[in-house]
Amino acid sequence: MYNMKPLLVLLAITLIANAAPAQQQPVPAKEMETALTTIAALVKDHYVFKEKGAQTAQHLLSQYRQGAFRSAGNWEAFDSIATALLRNFAHDGHLYVRYGPGIVKELRAPADTAQQGEDVFHYGPDAEKNNFGFHALEILEGNTGYIHLSEINISAKSLPVLYAAMQFVAHTQALVIDLRDNGGGGSEVGAVLESYFLPKDVPLLEVQGRNGPLETVKTVPWLLQEKYRQPLYILVNKGTASAAEALAFTLQAHKRAVIIGQPSAGGAHMNTWYPVNASIYVSISTAAPVLPGTTTSWEQRGVQPDHVTAPGAELTTARQLIHKQP
């Protein structure tokens, strides 16, 4: 998977919880109007597709003038209304407003006060507590490896965990990676997991920015661990999103993995968080990954399984397919 943090923040780090005060004070109308104007300007100036950004910003302001925010008594109610309006118009799950004074404070901190790499998602206390997303690791009947990833969290700190997991399944006859309900995350050290299944320096995704290409994501050249060359099966469902979708999508595109389950969430865009005021911030899609040389991505449509199953039948189907393989 690619770096989900190309600019300021990770793509869809929805794992950070902000403790809201028990009762928020009502928001003065003037503050609300200022916040709406700020959000609209940020969307217009930073959304990855210029025309769509301008249209979305205009829609938000138009809805405000028509009274869409009359029921917003506090910032949490405000963010719910704003998010619904943005998403319903733009059909972009990475476009949202959130109440989060703690995150706003982090976003406003001077860049030179932050240690390189010490972001909350990769290096915060919850990263280790969640075992960097490695939720389960098993050898199933028939010498089938099984890795359940609850999030994508690959960094210099978590690489030893990835190495150990892949070593554990190194001698299996087939491997199942379970990405069901994996909401994403990212890798700050490149497409390491994909590199276990493909040669080095293989172009995976081209990241398009507002003003043209930003980078081409490739498999890493420095992975010294043994490649996994046996059949690979990836389980997905509607809860599979963002970086988890990128993993499934790229390996499917290179015909290296068989995808099983239901279409995934369809969240391909890469987002940046911008502070609006002391209470809220806005997430804006600022980059769009596509297959190199194409306009093809999983945005809105999701990763389409090679074998569609009913919810809950994904692993059984994978094992049946493995049993039939030569």
Give the C-alpha separation, 15 to 298, whole Å.
22
**Contacts made by residues 105-114, CB under 8 angstroms, sequence distance 24+:** 107/8, 107/9, 107/273, 107/274, 107/275, 107/281, 108/275
Tokens, residue 95: 């476009």
pLDDT for residue 131: 96
The CATH 3.90.226.10 domain(s) of the chain lie at 118-268+287-324
CA angle 16, 17, 18 (to 5 degrees): 125
CA atoms 152, 155, 157, 163: torsion sign:
positive
- Give mean pLDDT, residues 92-118: 79
The full 3-state SS of 105-154, as one line of letters, equals HHHHCCHHHCCCCCCHHHHCHHHHHCHHHEEEEEEECCCEEEEEECCEEE
The partner residues of 140 in beta bridges, in order of sequence, read 144
Query: How, if at all, do strands 185-187 and 152-154 pair?
Result: parallel
Please tell me the distance from the alpha carbon of residue 7 to that of residue 17, in angstroms, as a whole number: 22
Non-local CB neighbours of 299 within 8 Å, separated by 6+ positions: 92, 266, 267, 268, 269, 288
Structure tokens at 39: 């959000």
Segment 64-87 mean pLDDT: 97
Supply the pLDDT for residue 25: 72
**Torsion angle of C-alpha atoms 25, 27, 31, 32, degrees rounded to 10:** 140
Predicted TM-score (pTM) of this structure: 0.81
Examine the pLDDT at 19 and tell me if it is beyond 80. Answer: no
- pLDDT at res. 117: 44
Which pLDDT belongs to residue 210? 94
Q: How far apart are CA 126 and CA 243, in angstroms?
A: 18
The whole-number pLDDT of residue 10 equals 38
pLDDT tens-digit series, residues 160-219: 999 999 999 999 999 999 999 999 999 999 999 999 999 999 999 999 999 999 999 999
The token pair at 182 is: 């994996």
DSSP state of 186: E
CB 152 within 8 A of CB 133: yes
The CATH number of the domain covering residues in 118-268+287-324: 3.90.226.10
Looking up tokens 């028939």 gives 142
Which amino acid makes up residue 145?
Answer: G
* pLDDT at residue number 7: 39
Identify which has the larger pLDDT, 125 or 206.
Answer: 206
What is each CA distance from 5 to 68, 78, 270, in whole angstroms? 33, 27, 8
Write down how long the chain is: 326
Phi, psi of 120, deg, nearest 5? -65, -40
Q: What is the pLDDT of residues 270-282, one digit of tens each?
A: 999 999 999 999 9
pLDDT at res. 326: 81
Query: pLDDT band at 20, cuts 50/70/90?
Result: very low
According to DSSP, the β-strands at 152-154 and 174-178 are unpaired
CB burial string 57-84: b at 16+ within 10 A, e below? bebbbebbeeebbeebebbbbbbbbbbe
